[in-house]
Structure 1
Amino acid sequence: MAEHIGRRRFIGAAAGAIALGAAGGIALGQQQWFAPEQTAEEETTKPITADPAATPDAQALLRWFKELPTRDARRVVSGQQIDDITAASYEYFVEKLAVRTGKHPAIVGVMVRDAWTRADSKILVDHWKRGGLITMDIHPTNPWNPTGGPSSAWVPDAKAAKPDLRMLLSTSDSTPQRTLWRKQMEKLGDLVEEMASAGAVVMLRPLHEGNGSWFWWGQDMASRKTFARDLYRDVFYYITQTRNLHNVLWLYSPGASWDGPALSYYPGSEYVDMVCPTRYDDDMLMLGERTGESPNNDYKDVVSTGKPVGFGECGPSTKLDGSWDARTIIKRIRETYPAMTYFHVWHGWENKIMELARDKYTEELMNDPWVVTRENIDWRPKPGATTTTRPSTTGSQPPKPSATGRGSVIRPQVTR
C-alpha cells in the first residue's frame, strides 16, 4: 500500500513539475529527468506482481508467463478443471487423461465452494509438489439468496436488477448479506493459507465473467454497470492485507463480451497480474472474429492491458458429446491468438462432455511441441538464481490470522 501511494504521489509531483516548467517557458521536450539508472539485475529482480510483497515463487512464475510467447516451443500451458476438490475428481479428470496421453495437465483448477474443508486440499498440494500449478475460482452462494447454495450464483433472470455489491465490502455496515459473504471470503482465505503452508502459488480468478449478466455479481442490464471492480479490490485487500497472504497471482477473468466489453470492470493494472478471459466455442474463436457477431474484439481488448493472457476457461459450445477436436485449442492459439500463454479446459456440466480425457485427438494436443504439461514445466528458477530483492514476508509458513480470520481492515477506495 505504501509503495502504491508513493507511486501516485510521484506521478502527481511529476505532473506538477511539468506544468510549472511549461508555465515558466521551458519546453516539454527540453525538460530532463534525472532518475538513477537501474541495472539489468535490478530490472529483472524487482517485484513485478500486483502484490509488491508476493513470494519469490509467485514473482518467478509471473516472469515465466511473461516470457512464454517469445519461445519457439513449450509456450502454451495446459490446464484442466476438476469438478470438486477430491481425490476421486482428480483421478477422473487428471489421472485418466495421463493414462490416455502419457501427460498430466500442468494446471489443475478448482472451484472454492462453501463445503470445502482443509483435508480436501491434499490433492492440490500433491499436484504442486509434482511440479504442477493451481488455479482457483470462487463460485459463491448468492448472499441475497442464502438457501440457494452454489447454484444460486446463476441468476434466474439475467435482465432482473442486480444487488449493490458495495454492501459486501469490508468497510460497509453489517447486514446478513455482508456476514454471509465475509464467511465465504474466510473460506477462500483458509484455502489460500493452506496452499501457502505448502509453498504453493495460487492463480486466483475472483468474480469471473463479471461483464456478463448471468451471475449475481455480474452486469446489471438495465443500468449497464456493477460494482464488481470494487468487490474484486476488496478481495485483493482481504487476502494480501487482512490475511497477510502473498502466494497469489491475481487473474482478471472476463467472459465473452455478449453483455459488456471484456474490460468493463477491469479493477486496474495495480490489482491484476494476468488477464484470462473465458471462451466456449467449437472453433475457439473469440468475439470479434466473426463478422457481425459482436462490436467488441475480445482478444484485442485483453492484449491491450499489457498483461500475460490466457484462456481462464475454454471448451466447445455445441460439440458436447465427446466429438470435439481438442487440437482446435492449440491450432487456434498458434494461428490467431499467439499471445495466449495457457488454456484451461472446463469439466463440463449436466452430463455434457467437455473434459480433455474424453475429447477427440487429445493425445495430439497434449504432445504438441507448443504445449507445456506437468512433465516438462520449467518455471522454477535455476538453483542459485535470485528471483527478488525483497525477501518474502511470509517465509515458508504464512503468518497466522486472528482467531476470527480478520486482521486490521484495509479500506479500499470505492471508485463510483
Structure 2
Amino acid sequence: MAGAAASPAAAFPPSSRQQVIDYLSSITGSQVVSGQHNKEPASNPAQYTQVVRNITGQYPGLWGGDLMFTAADVANRQRVIDQAKMEWGNGSLVTLTWHVCPPTTGPSCNFEGGVKSRITNAQFEQVISDGTALNSAWKRRLDEAVPYLQQLKDAGVPVLFRPLHEMNETWNWWGGYGAKSARLYQITRDYLMSKGLTNLIWVWNVQDNPAGGWATYYPGSSYVDVVSLDSWYKNYPSAADYQQMLSIAGSKPIAIAEMGKVPTAAFLDSQPRWSYFMLWSEQLQGNNTNAEIQATYFAPRVLNQGELVLAGATTTPPPTGGGTPTSPRTGAITGLGGACVDVQASGTADGTAVQLYACAPGTAQTWTVNAPTGTGTIVHPHSGKCLDVAGQGTADGTRVQIWTCNGSAAQRWAYDATARTLRNPASGKCLDAAGESSANGTRLQIWTCNGKANQRWTIPAT
C-alpha cells in the first residue's frame, strides 16, 4: 500500500520485455500500477507526473509519454526519450503512445486535419498492401521512430508500446476499418520487430464505445502482449466492458490505458484483473479533486513508483531522477520574527498573494516541501497549487504567489539548510520578506541573495 510520504524509489536495472510482462501477470488480481500520461509539449515530458507528486507525495508507478506529431514536438522527441530513461531508472514502468501522422503527409502535422483526419478507403487499402507507395510511406513513417526506440532498447528500458490506439474509433485516420485496422497493427509490429526492437511490449487498444464488437479489431494473440481499454464513454469500464476485455485477453494482462476519472478502491476491487491504469494529462486535475487523487494513490491495491519490484531490481535510487533524496515535509515555513509563510485569506485562486503573517494553525500556513535536501516544488495542499514566482520573473522584487503546478522553473526551489535560504534556481534569487519587515501582510518576493534575516527560513521538520 502507498504511504502518505514517498519511499525511496527502487531503481530498475536494464531489463527485458518479458520481465515486465511477467510482472504484470504476477500482480493480476491483487494489485494495480498507477499511471499518468504526459501530453504535449514534448519539451516538458513530466509536467503531469509532477502534479501527481505535488498532490500525493508519490510519483506514478507508470510514466506515460507520446512520440507526438507537430513539428515542434517531433523536434523535441529526444526529451521524451530522456525522460523515459529517467523514469525507468527511478522505478516506474514506461509506456509510449504515438499520435502518428498519416502516411499521406510529411513527418509532422497538426492534430486537426492530420492525426484527426480520414484517408480514403482506397488509400487505406494501399497502406496495408505490401509494395504500394503508401505501404512504403507507412514504413518510412515507422523508421522515424526507430532511432528513439533503439535508444531505449540500448538502455535496457522495456516499453509498453501502444500504437494505433482506439482503432475502433473513427476520429483518427487509422481506425474504424475492423479487421483492416487490425492488419495495419500487424504490419506495424512485424516491421518494428524486423528492426530488432525486442524491447517493445505490444499493447493493443480500443475505446469503450457502445458498439461493442471489439474482438473484430484484435490482431491475434501472437501480436499482442497486453490488452487495453480507454474509458471515455463512461467514467469506469462497465461490468460488460470488463468481461469483453477478459474474453479477448484470455490469460494476457489487461489494462485501462486512458481514463479521465481516477479509479476508486471499490471499483478496483470489483474489477481486480486490471494490471495498470493511466490518467489522461489535463484530466487529472480537470476531472478530479485533490482528495480523490490522494484516495486513489493511497488505496490498498495501488502501486506507485518505488513499490514495484521486478526480478533483479536494486533498492538504491540512482543519483538523478524524478524522486528526491528525502521524503517531503509538510507543515509551516517560518521566517523573520517567527512569522509564517501564509496564503492571503486562505485563497485558492491562481495568483493569490503569499505573505508573512503571525503563525496560527490552519490551511493558509501549511506547505509541503518536496525537496528538503534538493530542488523541487513547494505545494500548498489546501489549494493543490505551487509556490510560484509571478510571470516567471527574475527581477528583484518580483512577487511570489500560488499558481497551478505546471513544472515550470518559476516553481522550483532549493533549500540550503546551512544558510536557511529558499532559492529559485531559475533567477538565482532568494525568497525574501519585502522591506525586511515581519508585520502581518508583508509581501513575499524574490531578491538577490544577501544573507539578511529576512531571507532566512525554517522548513517543516518532518
Deviations 1:324-368 (A, max 9, x none): xx3x44431212x1111110111137xx95477x65421121111
CA contact (8 A) 1:205 1:251 kept: yes
Q: 1:197 aligns with which of 154, 177, 186?
A: 154
1:216 is paired with a residue whose SS is: coil
For the pair 1:331 / 2:293, whether they are aligned, the reply is no
Question: Residues 187 and 355 (structure 1 numbering): CA distance in 2 closer, same or farther, change over 3 Å?
Answer: farther
Q: Deviations over 1:253-297 (max 9, x none)?
A: 1111334522211000011111011102564133xx5xxxxxxx3
Larger Rg: 2
Give the letter aligned to residue 99 of structure 1: N
Structure (1 or 2) with the greater helix fraction? 1
Please state how far the C-alpha of 1:78 moved relative to its aligned partner. Answer: 0.5
Match of 2:184 among 218, 223, 231: 231
Q: 1:186 Cα deviation (Å)?
A: 1.2
Partner of 1:13: none
Instruction: Could you tell me which runs of 5 or more consecutive residues in structure 2 were left unpaired when the two chains were aligned.
Output: 1-13, 315-462
Map of 1:209-288 to 2, 5 A cutoff?
209-220=166-177, 225=178, 227-241=180-194, 243-280=195-232, 283-286=235-238
Give the secondary structure class of the aligned counterpart of 2:218. coil
Structure 1 residue runs without a partner (length 5+):
1-54, 290-296, 317-325, 384-416
Q: Does 1:342 align with 2:298?
A: no
Q: Distance in 1 between matches of 2:111 and 2:175?
A: 15
2:219 counterpart SS class: coil
TM-score by length of 1: 0.64
- Contact 1:106–1:373 (CA<8 Å) still a contact in 2? yes
Preserved CA contact (<8 Å) 1:103 1:375? no
Matches within 5 A, 1:287-302: 289=239, 297-302=240-245
Q: What's the CA shift for 1:226?
A: 5.2
Write 1 or 2 for the structure with the bigger share of strand: 2
- How do 1:13-162 residues align onto structure 2 when only pairs under 5 Å count? 57-71=16-30, 75-84=31-40, 86=42, 88-90=44-46, 92-114=47-69, 115-117=74-76, 119-120=78-79, 121-144=81-104, 148-151=109-112, 152-155=114-117, 162=121
Distance in 2 (alpha carbons) for counterparts of 1:236 and 1:308: 19
Moved over 4 A (4+): 145-148, 160-164, 352-356
Deviations 1:302-334 (A, max 9, x none): 111211101011114xxxxxxxxx3x4443121
Aligned AA (1:130): N
Q: CA deviation at 1:77?
A: 0.3
Identity of aligned residues (%): 21
Distance 1:246 1:355 in 2: 37
Amino acid at match of 1:208: H
Which gives a bigger RCO, structure 1 or 2 (Cα 8 Å, sep 6+)?
1
Q: Which amino acid counterpart does residue 193 of structure 2 have in structure 1?
A: T
Residue pair 1:61, 1:380 contacting (<8 A) in 2 also: no
Per-residue deviation, residues 149-195 of structure 1 (Å, max 9, x unmatched): 34322237xxx964553422482222xx4454333211222221111
> Alignment length, in residue pairs?
292
3-state SS, counterpart of residue 153 of structure 1: coil
Q: What residue identity is the alignment partner of 1:77?
A: V
CA contact under 8 A between 2:128 and 2:180: conserved in structure 1?
Answer: no
Kindly tell me: are residues 70 and 148 of structure 1, through their superposed partners in 2, closer, same or farther at Cα, counting changes over 3 Å?
closer
What letter matches 2:159 in structure 1? V
TM-score by length of 2: 0.58
SS at 2:207's partner residue? Answer: coil
CA offsets per residue over residues 53-76 of structure 1, 9 Å max, x none?
xx96211111111111243xxx10
Aligned position for 1:393: none
